[in-house]
Amino acid sequence: MNSASDKRFFGTDGIRGLVGEEPITPQTVLKLGWAAGKVLARSARNRGKVLIGKDTRVSGYLMESALEAGFSAAGVDVSLLGPMPTPGIAYLTRTARAHAGVVISASHNLYHDNGIKFFSRDGVKLADEIEFEIEEMMQQPMRTAESSALGKAQRYTDARGRYIEYCKSTIPYRMNFRGLKIVLDCANGACYHIAPDVFTELGADVIPIANEPDGFNINLNCGSTHLGLLQKAVQEYRADLGIALDGDGDRCLMVDGDGARVDGDQMLYILGMARKAANKLSGGLVGTQMTNLGLEQACAESAIPFRRARVGDRYVMNLLTQENWLVGGESSGHIILLDKSTTGDGIIAALEVLSAMVDSGKSLAELKAGMAVYPQKMINVKMQRSFDLDASAEVNEALQAAEQELAQSGRVLLRASGTEPVVRVMVEGSDAAQVARLTQFLADTVQHAAQQ
Nearest to 446 by CA among 381, 385, 393, 384: 381
Name residues whose C-beta falls within 8 Å of residue 27's C-beta, 6 or more positions apart in sequence.
none
**Residue 244's beta-bridge partner residues?**
185, 253
CA 106 → CA 228, 305, 347, 375, 429, distances in Å? 21, 33, 18, 29, 32
Distance CA 309, CA 363 (A): 30
- How many Å separate Cα 349 from the centre of its chain? 12
Distance CA 31, CA 346 (A): 32
- Determine whether 107 is an active site residue: yes
Q: Where are the alpha helices (DSSP H) in 74-145?
A: 86-95, 128-138
Q: Parallel, antiparallel, or unpaired: how do β-strands 335-337 and 306-309 relate?
A: unpaired
Give the DSSP letter string of 145-171. Answer: PPGGG---EEE-TTHHHHHHHHHHHTS
**Whether 375 contacts 429, CB under 8 Å:** yes
Catalytic site residue from 79, 107, 331, 392? 107
Burial level of 154, CB count in 10 A (0-12/13-18/19+)? Answer: exposed
Active site residues: 107
